[in-house]
Amino acid sequence: MLIRVTEAQPVANPSNISSAKPLRLVVLASGFGSLLQSMLEMLDTAKVEIVAVGSDKDCPALERAQKLQIPTFKVPFDAEAKKDRTGWDLRFLEAVSAYSPDMIVSAGFMRILGESFVEAFKDRIINTHPALLPSFPGAHAVLDALDYGVKVTGTTVHVVDTGVDTGPILAQEPVVVERDDTVETLHERIKVVERRLLVDVLHSIADRGMDRDGRKAYLK
């Protein structure tokens, strides 16, 4: 049964998460699920437990989770949702809240999260981005970096706020741009770093939590 929005309770402040139990993680995905797969392979389950995988549509990421008997949920973003985005946001909030997550990871989830959802899980949603934010936000970060001619790009793990790739930065790691790089070759190298960095961040939050100071966020 889905929890009503009025009953949805924040489970933990990231600064107070205890390492005495696994961090409860809900993963949101919309596509193939390669980032989800790397998390499944690399996460220390004594520290972080993926309690559910959710999406806004049928996708291979849900199938990956189902094969491993991880609970999944889907809140379709259909014609009705397009007419009533607020209603969809509330239904999505209910679906996620049912799993009482400590943290939420947007792992290739291509829907911008609504303000009500972000506020309900304030400072507990994290996302990865294939560039060194605030440079090259948006859906074409790798192409934009190549077109601009930067010599170094990278990956960012950040807290999600109500903007697009504007939340406080938790961790970053550079990736050198080679002269003969294409979008595909550069993105593949970024993905390797991104997967490891995300897991490192999640382990750190599970062990010691995180702090937020205005625009700044810190791993303890």
The region of weakest confidence among 2-16, 46-60, 83-97, 139-153 is: 2-16
CA distance 39 to 106: 12
Q: Would you state the CATH architecture of domain 128-159+170-220?
A: 3-Layer(aba) Sandwich (3.40)
Which CATH superfamily is 21-121 part of? Formyl transferase, N-terminal domain (3.40.50.170)
SS3 state at 137: coil
User: Which amino acid is it at 89?
Assistant: D
Residue pLDDT, tens place only, 124-172: 999 999 999 999 999 999 999 999 999 999 999 999 999 999 999 999 9
pLDDT of residue 12: 53
Residue pLDDT, tens place only, 194-211: 999 999 999 999 999 999
CA of residue 34 relative to chain centroid, distance:
13
| Residues 97, 10 contacting (CB under 8 angstroms) | no
pLDDT of residue 21: 85
Q: What are the structural domain ranges in the chain?
A: 21-121, 128-159+170-220
| Residues 61, 32 contacting (CB under 8 angstroms) | yes
Residues placed in the known binding site for (6R)-10-formyltetrahydrofolate: 85, 110-113, 127
**What is the secondary structure of 96-127 as a DSSP string?**
HHTT--SEEEESS--SPPPHHHHHHTTT-EEE
Q: Do 128-159+170-220 and 21-121 fall under one CATH topology?
A: yes
Please identify every residue annotated as catalytic. 129
